[in-house]
Amino acid sequence: MGLAISVGVMAEVLQEDPEGAVALAASIEQANAALRLAGLPPHEEPARLPELKSRAAIESFPYSFLHHLRRAYAYARQDGQWRATPVPEGEDPSDDPVLEAEADMLSSHLLCHSDCEGYYFPIVFDDIVFADETMPILGGMLGSSYRLREELVVAAPALGIFLLNEQLSDDEAERINARIDIEAPLHRELVAWLAIFEACRLSIEHKTAIMFN
> What's the structural domain count of the chain?
1
Question: pTM for the complete prediction?
Answer: 0.97
Amino acid in position 67: H
Per-residue confidence (pLDDT) for residue 103, from 0 to 100: 97
Cα angle value 126/132/133 (rounded, 5°):
170
Amino acid in position 3: L
What are the pLDDT tens digits along the chain (213 aa)? 699 999 999 999 998 998 999 999 999 999 999 999 999 999 999 999 999 999 999 999 999 999 999 999 999 999 999 999 999 989 999 999 999 999 999 999 999 999 999 999 999 999 999 998 888 999 999 999 999 999 999 999 999 999 999 999 999 999 999 999 999 999 999 999 999 999 999 999 999 999 999
Task: Residue 155: name the closest of 99, 193, 124 by CA.
Answer: 193
Per-residue confidence (pLDDT) for residue 132, from 0 to 100: 87
Per-residue confidence (pLDDT) for residue 102, from 0 to 100: 97
Q: Which residues contact 52 (CB under 8 A, 6 or more apart)?
A: 7, 8, 202, 206, 208
Task: Residue 200: name the closest of 30, 67, 5, 2 by CA.
Answer: 5
Per-residue confidence (pLDDT) for residue 36, from 0 to 100: 96
HSE of 84, CA atoms in CB hemisphere, 13 A: 28
Per-residue confidence (pLDDT) for residue 150, from 0 to 100: 98
| 115 phi, psi to nearest 5 deg | -70, -25
Domain that holds residue 175: 3-212
Task: Measure CA of the first residue to CA of the last residue in the chain; give whole Å.
Answer: 10
Q: How far is residue 81's CA from residue 25's CA, in Å, rounded to a whole number?
A: 43
